[in-house]
Protein backbone atom coordinates (compact mmCIF):
# COMPACT_ATOMS: atom_id res chain seq x y z
CA UNK A 1 0.00 0.00 0.00
CA UNK A 2 1.28 3.45 -0.91
CA UNK A 3 1.79 5.83 2.00
CA UNK A 4 -0.22 9.09 1.78
CA UNK A 5 1.75 12.32 1.37
CA UNK A 6 0.59 13.57 4.78
CA UNK A 7 2.31 10.58 6.42
CA UNK A 8 5.42 10.89 4.25
CA UNK A 9 5.89 14.55 5.15
CA UNK A 10 5.22 13.85 8.83
CA UNK A 11 7.73 10.99 8.91
CA UNK A 12 10.23 13.03 6.89
CA UNK A 13 10.17 15.88 9.41
CA UNK A 14 10.47 13.49 12.36
CA UNK A 15 13.39 11.73 10.66
CA UNK A 16 15.00 15.09 9.89
CA UNK A 17 14.76 16.01 13.58
CA UNK A 18 16.22 12.62 14.51
CA UNK A 19 19.15 13.22 12.14
CA UNK A 20 19.81 16.61 13.74
CA UNK A 21 19.27 15.68 17.38
CA UNK A 22 20.68 12.17 17.69
CA UNK A 23 23.81 10.40 16.51
CA UNK A 24 21.71 7.84 14.60
CA UNK A 25 22.37 7.64 10.85
CA UNK A 26 18.99 7.95 9.15
CA UNK A 27 20.28 9.33 5.86
CA UNK A 28 18.78 6.51 3.74
CA UNK A 29 15.35 6.94 5.34
CA UNK A 30 15.57 10.72 4.96
CA UNK A 31 16.52 10.43 1.29
CA UNK A 32 13.67 7.99 0.64
CA UNK A 33 11.05 10.32 2.15
CA UNK A 34 12.56 13.33 0.38
CA UNK A 35 12.39 11.51 -2.95
CA UNK A 36 8.67 10.85 -2.45
CA UNK A 37 8.02 14.46 -1.44
CA UNK A 38 9.84 15.75 -4.53
CA UNK A 39 7.41 13.80 -6.73
CA UNK A 40 4.68 16.18 -5.55
CA UNK A 41 6.76 19.30 -6.20
CA UNK A 42 8.92 21.03 -3.65
CA UNK A 43 7.14 24.37 -4.00
CA UNK A 44 3.73 22.89 -3.26
CA UNK A 45 4.93 20.81 -0.31
CA UNK A 46 7.45 23.17 1.32
CA UNK A 47 4.94 25.04 3.48
CA UNK A 48 3.67 21.75 4.92
CA UNK A 49 7.20 20.48 5.53
CA UNK A 50 8.02 23.69 7.40
CA UNK A 51 4.84 23.56 9.49
CA UNK A 52 5.27 19.91 10.47
CA UNK A 53 8.98 20.35 11.14
CA UNK A 54 8.23 23.16 13.60
CA UNK A 55 5.33 21.30 15.24
CA UNK A 56 7.22 18.00 15.49
CA UNK A 57 10.19 19.88 16.97
CA UNK A 58 7.98 21.29 19.72
CA UNK A 59 6.45 17.86 20.25
CA UNK A 60 9.91 16.29 20.52
CA UNK A 61 11.03 18.93 23.05
CA UNK A 62 7.89 18.46 25.14
CA UNK A 63 8.19 14.68 25.15
CA UNK A 64 11.85 14.91 26.18
CA UNK A 65 10.88 17.27 28.99
CA UNK A 66 8.14 14.87 30.12
CA UNK A 67 10.43 11.84 30.04
CA UNK A 68 13.05 13.65 32.14
CA UNK A 69 10.44 14.39 34.80
CA UNK A 70 9.16 10.81 34.77
CA UNK A 71 12.60 9.30 35.27
CA UNK A 72 13.64 11.33 38.30
CA UNK A 73 13.35 10.10 41.88
CA UNK A 74 10.95 12.92 42.78
CA UNK A 75 8.21 12.47 40.22
CA UNK A 76 6.02 15.55 39.89
CA UNK A 77 2.81 14.01 38.60
CA UNK A 78 1.13 17.39 38.23
CA UNK A 79 3.92 18.58 35.94
CA UNK A 80 3.85 15.35 33.95
CA UNK A 81 0.08 15.76 33.57
CA UNK A 82 0.56 19.31 32.27
CA UNK A 83 3.14 18.10 29.77
CA UNK A 84 0.81 15.29 28.64
CA UNK A 85 -1.91 17.86 27.96
CA UNK A 86 0.63 19.98 26.06
CA UNK A 87 1.60 16.93 23.95
CA UNK A 88 -2.08 16.35 23.17
CA UNK A 89 -2.53 20.00 22.15
CA UNK A 90 0.54 19.92 19.90
CA UNK A 91 -0.72 16.70 18.32
CA UNK A 92 -3.98 18.50 17.56
CA UNK A 93 -1.99 21.07 15.57
CA UNK A 94 -0.05 18.30 13.87
CA UNK A 95 -3.19 16.46 12.84
CA UNK A 96 -4.66 19.72 11.55
CA UNK A 97 -1.69 20.24 9.21
CA UNK A 98 -1.89 16.63 8.08
CA UNK A 99 -5.59 17.22 7.27
CA UNK A 100 -4.59 20.29 5.25
CA UNK A 101 -2.21 18.10 3.24
CA UNK A 102 -4.98 15.57 2.60
CA UNK A 103 -7.21 18.40 1.35
CA UNK A 104 -4.49 20.03 -0.77
CA UNK A 105 -3.35 16.85 -2.52
CA UNK A 106 -6.60 14.84 -2.42
CA UNK A 107 -4.92 11.69 -1.14
CA UNK A 108 -5.00 9.84 2.13
CA UNK A 109 -7.50 10.06 4.94
CA UNK A 110 -8.15 12.55 7.68
CA UNK A 111 -7.77 11.25 11.19
CA UNK A 112 -10.99 11.32 13.15
CA UNK A 113 -10.63 11.08 16.92
CA UNK A 114 -13.28 11.31 19.57
CA UNK A 115 -12.71 14.11 22.12
CA UNK A 116 -9.53 15.12 20.31
CA UNK A 117 -10.09 18.40 18.53
CA UNK A 118 -7.70 19.31 15.76
CA UNK A 119 -6.43 22.86 15.67
CA UNK A 120 -7.25 24.60 12.37
CA UNK A 121 -8.64 21.33 11.07
CA UNK A 122 -8.55 21.51 7.29
CA UNK A 123 -8.18 25.30 7.23
CA UNK A 124 -5.34 27.04 5.45
CA UNK A 125 -3.49 29.67 7.46
Q: Where are the domains of the chain?
A: 5-105
Report the sign of the C-alpha dihedral through residues 102, 106, 111, 117, in that order.
positive
pLDDT of residue 16: 98
Give the pLDDT band of residue 124 (cuts 50, 70, 90).
very low
Q: In angstroms, rounded to a whole number, what is the distance separating the alpha carbons of residues 90 and 5? A: 20
- Indicate if the pLDDT at residue 109 is higher than 70: no
Q: Which residues contact 78 (CB under 8 A, 6 or more apart)?
A: none
| Distance, first Cα to last Cα, the chain | 31
* pLDDT tens track for 53-100: 999 999 999 988 877 766 666 777 888 889 889 999 999 999 999 999
Amino acid sequence: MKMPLSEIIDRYTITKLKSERTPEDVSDELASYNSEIEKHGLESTQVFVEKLYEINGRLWDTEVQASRGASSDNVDYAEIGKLAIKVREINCERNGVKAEIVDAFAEGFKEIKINYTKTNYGKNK
